Chains A and B, each alone.
Chain A
Amino acid sequence: MSYFSNITNAVGTLIAGMKVTMGYFVRPREHVTLQYPDEVWPIPTRNIGVGELDAYNTIRSKLTVNIDDCIGCKACERACPVNCIHIDTYKAGPDDDLGITSNGTKKKLLTASFIIDMSECMFCDLCTPPCPEKCITMTPDYQFISNDNLKTDVTPEQRWRDKNLLIYQFSKVSETERQRLKVEAETAARAKAEMMAVKKAAAAKAAEEKAAAAKVAEEKAARAAAEAVAVSKTIQENTKNNTSETLAETNTETVLVSEHGTSAEETTPATDTVTDIPLESISSAVTPEAPSELTADTEVVESPVDHEASTTKESDNG
C-alpha cells in the first residue's frame, strides 16, 4: 500500500512544486535582479562617518579635494596610513598672491600636484579629520565612474580595467607649469648638491692636508722634542714637562695655518660657478656631518689678517 501512497505523494509534491514555479513565472515584474550599470542601490543616508560635520556624514567612498581651499599643509598626506596621497608644494614668491581659502587663511604654498591614488586607498577616512581647511572629503561615489577630476575622457569601463586611471590629480596647475616648477626645483636642488659636493671635497682635501701637515709637524715636534730633551737633559731636569706642553701648543697652531692657506685658494673658484646662490643659503645648507671644518672655513674667509699673522708666526717658529 505504501507503494501507491508513495506514488500519489510524489505526484502531489511535484504538482505543488510546479505551482510555486509557475506562480513566479507569471510575475516577472517582481524580479530581484539589479540591472547594475542602469540601476544602482540607493546610497544609505544614515550617518556612518566620523565627526559631526556634514562633510563626514557620508558613505566612505571616493575622496575629493576642493583644491581652491587647500593650503598645501600636507596634513592629509602624513595622516594616510598607506601613503596614497602625494602632494608637491612650492613656496610662493614674495609678490605672488595665491589667494585666500574660504576660511580666510592666506595660501602661502602653491600646490602644484595633489595626487590621490584611489587604487591604493582603503577608505579609512583618516585623511579628512586633520585637514585644517576641511577641503579633503569623502564623497558617496562608490562606482568611480563620474567624469569629474579632470579625466573627462575616461569611460567607466576603462577605469575598471586600468589601475592607473584610478590615480586622481586634483591640482589645477597645468602640466607644463608643473614641469617647469619641477625643473626649477630640480636645478636649485642640483646646485645645492653641487655646492655640497664641492664643499665636501674641499673639506676632505683640507682634512688630508691637515693630516699631512700634522705628520710634518709631528716629525718637527719630535725632532724639537728630542733637541729639547737633549737640551733639558744637559741643562735642567725639573722643567721637562712644561717645555713639552708648550711645544704641543705650537704644533696645533701650525696645523691650522697650513690648512687655511690651501682651502682659501680652493674654494674661491668653486663659488664663482654658482653665483646665483645667496650666502645665507650656503650657511644654512651646512650639514652636521662636518661642522668643524666648515666653521674653520668661514673663520678663514672672515679673518685673512689672522691668517697672515699666523703664517709669520710659523715662519718665525721655523
Chain B
Amino acid sequence: MIQALANWILSFDILAGLGNPIAWGLSLFVVSALIFAFVAVNAIVLVYFERKVSAFMQVRLGPMRVGKFGSLQTVADALKLLQKEDIIPRSADKILFLIGPWVILVASVVTFAAIPFSDTLLAANMNIGLFYVVSISSIVVLGIVMAGWASNNKWSLYGAMRSAAQIISYEIPVGITLIAVVAVVGSLNLQVIVQAQGGVGNLFHWIPLPLPNWFIFHNPFLFLAAFIYLIGATAEINRTPFDIPESESELVAGFMTEYSGLRWALFFLSEYANATLVAFLVSIVFLGGWQSPFADYAGAQIGFLVITLVAVMWTLYVKAKAQRLSIYPVGISLVITLAAWLFPGFAVWLASPGLFWMLMKVASIIFLLMWFRWTFPRLRVDQLMYVSWKVILPISLVNLMGVAVWMWLTGEIQF
C-alpha cells in the first residue's frame, strides 16, 4: 500500500519531480499516521462500547449525559486525561518509567502494519506476516516489565511479574494453534491465509451443510483451535478473566498503578489496540478476514433468509420459555433480507469481499471479548498457570497432531 501511495503521488505532474525515495517516505508517514489515528479512534470508540456493553449486561444504562446516549463521554474523558498532571514518583527509575508506556504503545501499534484490512488495504504485505504480528506483539511484555519495575512500587512490580509470566505461558499454546493453521495453508503471509478461505463449501468438507470456507469450519480440530486461540489471546492481552496483572481488587492497578495523565492513557490505548489486534487475528486466521460469508448474490439472499428463519424460531422459543419478546434480531435480519431480495445490488455488495466484512468480524470478536470480560470471574494465579500448562497447551498440541492427521487422511497434503 505504501508503494501504491507513492506511485499515486508520483502520478501527479507537479509532484513527479520528488523522486521515488521522497514520495515513498511521504506515503510511509501518511500510512503510519493513518494507522495511529485508527488505533486512537478505535480506543475511544471501544471504551464507549465497553462501558455500554458492561452496563447493559449489569442492567444499568452506562454513560448517558455527555452527548446523545453518552456518546461523547469517552472523548471528554480523553480530553481530561490529556490535561492531567503527569506525575513521576520521586524514587522511580526515571528513564524506564518514561519510556515504558511508549514501548507498549509502539509494540501494539506497529503490528497493525501487517494486518490486511481488505484485499488492497494493507500497509506492508509481508511473507512472514503472521510471525511478525505474533513476535512484535510480544514486545508488549517488555514495556510492561519496564513500567512495573521502574515504578518502584510493590503492586506495579507484582503486576509486571504476573504479566510477564502470563504472557510467556500463553504465547506457547497461541503459537501452536497458529501453527496448526499455517500447516493447512502452507504460508505465513496473512493475505495468502485470507485468500485461502474464499468461497462456500460443506462443513468440515463432508457434512452437507453449506458454510463459508473459513478455517474455523475447515475441520473439527481447527474449530477447537479457534476457541483455544481466543482464550490464549485473551490471556495475552491481559483482559478479564485473565487480568491478574492489573487486578483492581488485589493490585490496585497492577503495573500502571503509578501512572497518571497521558501515560496512563497510553496504557489504555495499547490495551484496546491489543484487543483489536487479537480480534483482527482471529478473524483473519479463522473467520476468513475480508472474505464475505456468501459465495454470490444468490447465496447472500438465501443466507439471510435462513438467518431470518432462525431468528424467528429463536424468538418464538424465547417467547414460549421466558414470556418475553425480543424483536430486534428478527427485525434487523428481516430488513436486511428484504433489502437483499428487493435490491440485487445490495446482495451483490453483501457477497463481495471487503473492509465491511472485516470490520463486522472484528466487531463481533471484540463483542465476544467484552462478553467474556463482564461475565467471567478472574482466575487465581495458580489457576491461570494450570489452565495454561495443563489444559490449553496439551489440547493445542493434540490439535496440531489432529490437524496433521486430518490433512493426511483427506489427502490435502501428501507425505
| A residues in contact (CB < 8 Å) with B | 3, 7, 14, 17-18, 20-22, 24-28, 30-33, 35
Contact = CB atoms under 8 A, between A and B. Distances in A.
B375 A24 contact: no
B391 A21 contact: no
A215 to B, nearest CB: 81
Interface residues of A: mostly helix, strand, loop or mixed? helix
Interface-centre pick from A7, A20, A31 (highest chain B CB count, 10 A): A31
Contacts of A18: 371-372, 375
Nearest to A28: B56
A25 B57 contact: yes
B61 interface: yes
B61 A26 contact: no
A-B pairs, top 10 by smallest CB distance, nearest first, are A33-B61, A21-B57, A21-B375, A17-B375, A28-B56, A25-B56, A25-B57, A31-B61, A33-B60, A18-B375
Contact of A32 (B59, B326, B372): B59
Contacts of A33: 55, 60-61, 64
Contacts of A35: 61, 64
Nearest to A11: B227
Contact of B59 (A14, A22, A30): A30
B154 interface: no
A32 B56 CA distance: 10
Interface in B60-113: 60-61, 64
Contacts of B376: 14, 17
A25 B60 contact: no
Contact of B53 (A3, A17, A20, A25): A25
B20 interface: no
A8 to B, nearest CB: 11
Contact of A27 (B55, B326, B375, B390): B326
Contacts of A32: 59-60
Interface string B374-385: 111000000000
A22 B371 contact: yes
A30 to B, nearest CB: 6
B326 A24 contact: no
Nearest to B58: A24
B391 A31 contact: no
Interface-centre pick from B57, B326, B391 (highest chain A CB count, 10 A): B57
A219 to B, nearest CB: 87
Contacts of A17: 375-376
B328 A26 contact: yes
A306 to B, nearest CB: 89
Interface string B358-376: 0000000000000110111
B205 interface: no
B319 interface: no
Interface in B374-415: 374-376, 390-391
A33 B58 CA distance: 10
B60 A20 contact: no
Nearest to A23: B322
B60 A31 contact: yes
A27 B61 CA distance: 11
Interface residues of B, number: 19
Interface-centre pick from B59, B372, B376 (highest chain A CB count, 10 A): B59
Contacts of A7: 391
Contacts of A25: 53, 56-57, 371
A20 B377 CA distance: 14
Contacts of B371: 18, 21-22, 25
Contact of B57 (A3, A14, A24): A24
Interface string B330-356: 000000000000000000000000000
24 contacts: A14-B375, A14-B376, A17-B376, A18-B372, A18-B375, A21-B374, A22-B57, A22-B371, A24-B57, A25-B56, A25-B371, A26-B328, A27-B326, A28-B56, A30-B59, A31-B55, A31-B59, A31-B60, A31-B61, A32-B59, A32-B60, A33-B60, A33-B64, A35-B64
A17 B57 CA distance: 11
A135 to B, nearest CB: 40
Contacts of A20: 375
A24 B60 CA distance: 10
A17 B58 CA distance: 12
A21 B55 CA distance: 10
Given A14-B376, A17-B376, A24 B56 contact: yes
A25 to B, nearest CB: 5
Contacts of B59: 24, 30-32
Given A26-B328, A33-B55, 20 more contacts: A3-B390, A7-B391, A14-B375, A17-B375, A17-B376, A18-B375, A21-B57, A21-B371, A21-B374, A24-B56, A24-B58, A24-B59, A25-B57, A26-B326, A27-B324, A31-B55, A31-B59, A31-B60, A33-B61, A33-B64
A30 B31 CA distance: 45
Contacts of A3: 390
A18 B53 CA distance: 13
A31 B58 CA distance: 8
A24 B375 CA distance: 11
B65 to A, nearest CB: 8
Contacts of A22: 57, 371
A14 B376 CA distance: 7
Contacts of B60: 31-33
A283 B307 CA distance: 103
A17 to B, nearest CB: 5
A18 B372 CA distance: 7
Contacts of A14: 375-376
Contacts of A21: 57, 371, 374-375
A247 to B, nearest CB: 94
B226 to A, nearest CB: 14
A63 to B, nearest CB: 31
Interface-centre pick from A20, A25, A28, A31 (highest chain B CB count, 10 A): A25
A21 to B, nearest CB: 4
Interface string B232-243: 000000000000
B157 to A, nearest CB: 31
A27 B60 CA distance: 10
Nearest to B374: A21
Contacts of B324: 27
Nearest to A19: B375
